[in-house]
Amino acid sequence: MIRVLFMAVAAIDVRYSGPMNKTFDEETRLAKWLEVEAALAHAQGKLGTIPKEAAEEIEKKAGTKHVKLERVKEIEAQIDHDLMAMVKALSEQCGKAGGYVHYGATSYDIEDTATALIFRDAIAQIEKRVRELKAELLRQAEKHKGTVCIGRTHGQHAVPTTYGMKFAVWAYELQRHLERLKAAKERVSYGKMSGAVGTMATFGPQAFEVQKLVMEKLGLKPALVTTQIIQRDRHAEVLFALALIAASLEKMAKEIRNLQRTEIMEVAEPFGKKQVGSSTMPHKRNPHKSERVCSLARNLRMDVQVALENIAVEHERDLTNSASERVIFPDAFILSDYMLSQMQGIISGLEFFPENIKRNLQMSRGLIMAERLMIALTGKGMNRQEAHELLRQASQKAFKSKRHLKDELLLDSAVVKYLTKEELEDVFNEETYIGKAVEIVENAIKRLS
């Protein structure tokens, strides 16, 4: 026999691969199919639907120790049906008991139930990654709860905040993702033994008992009513939860990318001693890991679109969902796992540049303290709207003249009437205008840890 060797083509098999790949590889899929077949035989043997001895033999042989992937592929090449190839390969190993393999079942009784097992395992891995990243964010939040920096809205300097606030906001978001994953895992952990159109006709009078026992054996819940397949809203929800995680990771990565801009350079993702930033510009220190996260997030959103399209199958089922699911299911989970791993490395190794953080905090020459001044003037008796207009005009003058706002206000008799020079000095201390930021971060750490 001539063997043809193929090199990996898909990026998820090489560049973006990780532990999740094993969860979705062909060997694991075969093992899960066999696990379902074993559970079916166990239930039927217990109920007397098939001989007990046959059930025991099928359970004994329904594993990749006996049923080899290579043999399944040989059979599939002949019959062009992957699930039936597994059935034949298992039957070969069971002798006379082989005649009872897959008794009463249709392909998607096995495939969809096995998919639930795979999704359950895969979601558990994603949950672990999310928890690890959340813990890293909380560590950074604790470390930098008092690291005062400029807050930005609309890309413009706003008022001071802290880096601890940034990390705490992200950690809180990940907590919500954990809650979403838990709910999605609950709804996708359903299996079926209901036959070709969901009526259970082939399983006879004990059909409900068969389904119940199979699902109990597998740790799944029996679907209340199905067609030939488990309805795809369940799977779409899982992929949507993954896409939401990806969107949050993209938000983190984009923030780091922007803060690493040369003219800002407050933080930077880790950069190895021998790492190369550019093939032609030796000085470059590109945030390529963060850019990669942003890029892959687009793929996750694309997978959701396909998953939504797969919900609308025709009648009791067609095959339009099948081919695309072979792509989007592993793609979404493998990329999510990879992105979470990358982001944890970025956050844990994030480099800070305190001198640049302080420089940017003071860059506006006091303009960022206009809000605080408005509050201070109002507290001294000035009308709030008058104070706002006064500071709006003063800020424009200071901006055009490149003068510090404090110096501009010292020339204004209306301001001097309410605030002394010493009080103005205190107002312009950026480090003391962070409100309850430290307490907010500490509360978040306590709540989310």
Residues with active-site annotation? 154, 278
For the chain, give the longest Cα–Cα distance.
103
Question: Per DSSP, which regions of 169-314 are E strands?
Answer: 190-191, 221-222, 267-268
Give the rounded distance of the alpha carbon of 175 from its chain centre. Answer: 11
| Other residues' Cβ atoms within 10 Å of the Cβ of residue 261 | 11
**Beta-strand relationship, 148-153 and 156-162:** antiparallel
Burial of 131 per CB tally in 10 Å (0-12, 13-18, 19+): middle
Q: Where are the alpha helices (DSSP H) in 310-404?
A: 320-348, 354-361, 370-379, 384-401
**CA atoms of 395 and 405, how far apart (whole Å):** 6
**CA atoms of 400 and 50, how far apart (whole Å):** 89
Tokens of 280: 């032609």
- Per the CB < 8 A criterion, the answer to whether 41 and 51 are in contact is no
Tokens of 391: 């500071």
Tokens of 199: 């009526």
CA distances to 352, 360, 381, 405, 432 from 426, in Å: 27, 19, 18, 13, 9
- Per the CB < 8 A criterion, the answer to whether 424 and 355 are in contact is no
**CA atoms of 111 and 326, how far apart (whole Å):** 12
- Element (H or E) spanning 69, and its range? helix 69-79
**Beta-strand relationship, 221-222 and 267-268:** unpaired
Cα four-point dihedral sign 125, 129, 135, 138: negative
3-class secondary-structure state, position 222? strand
- Per the CB < 8 A criterion, the answer to whether 192 and 223 are in contact is yes
201 contacts: CB under 8 Å, gap ≥ 6? 195
